[in-house]
Amino acid sequence: MELRPARPHELPLLREVERASGEPFRAHGMPEIADDEPLLLTELQRLHLWVADKDDTPIAWVGVEVLDNAAHIAQLSVHPAHARQGIGAQLLDHVQAWAAEHDLTALTLTTFRRIPWNEPYYRRLGFTEPAHPSPGLQAVLAAEAERGLRPEDRICLHRPVSERA
């Protein structure tokens, strides 16, 4: 498996990986998340994108934007056929190294509380809830609420770059 920047022609494939990675939400009583449309191509184009590829095909990817001097994980998707193999953690560590190279202070993300492959997963990887989410993270949560995600189901997490880089 290789970690590398996404290639422009692969963006539609990333949407398919994201769509597949949403399917497990159905079994957790969240069919609306499973049915949610993946990021649009225009949204993908504005992110820093890295893929984990197997046989020259993306099987997982991470999309990052710089937000409040942090590498904000806008999306991390692992195809379910390749889940539980440490690929997501490898992608996050890759982003952590990139963030260190760019003098960013942390990795941040928003995720679902109490879904095993969301909040508990990120906590096992060293992410914690900030005492005071940055203005940018607060804006992300507000935008998620506007899209219909219940604020009580969401959490902001961060991991300082210095802890892993």
- pLDDT value of position 163: 60
Euclidean distance between CA atoms 73 and 50, whole angstroms: 11
Tokens 């809830």 -> residue: 129
The reported pTM is 0.93
pLDDT tens figures, 6-44: 999 999 999 999 999 999 999 988 999 999 999 999 999
CATH code, domain with 74 = 3.40.630.30
3-state secondary structure (DSSP) of residue 20: helix
Range of the domain at 84: 2-163
Number of structural domains in the chain? 1
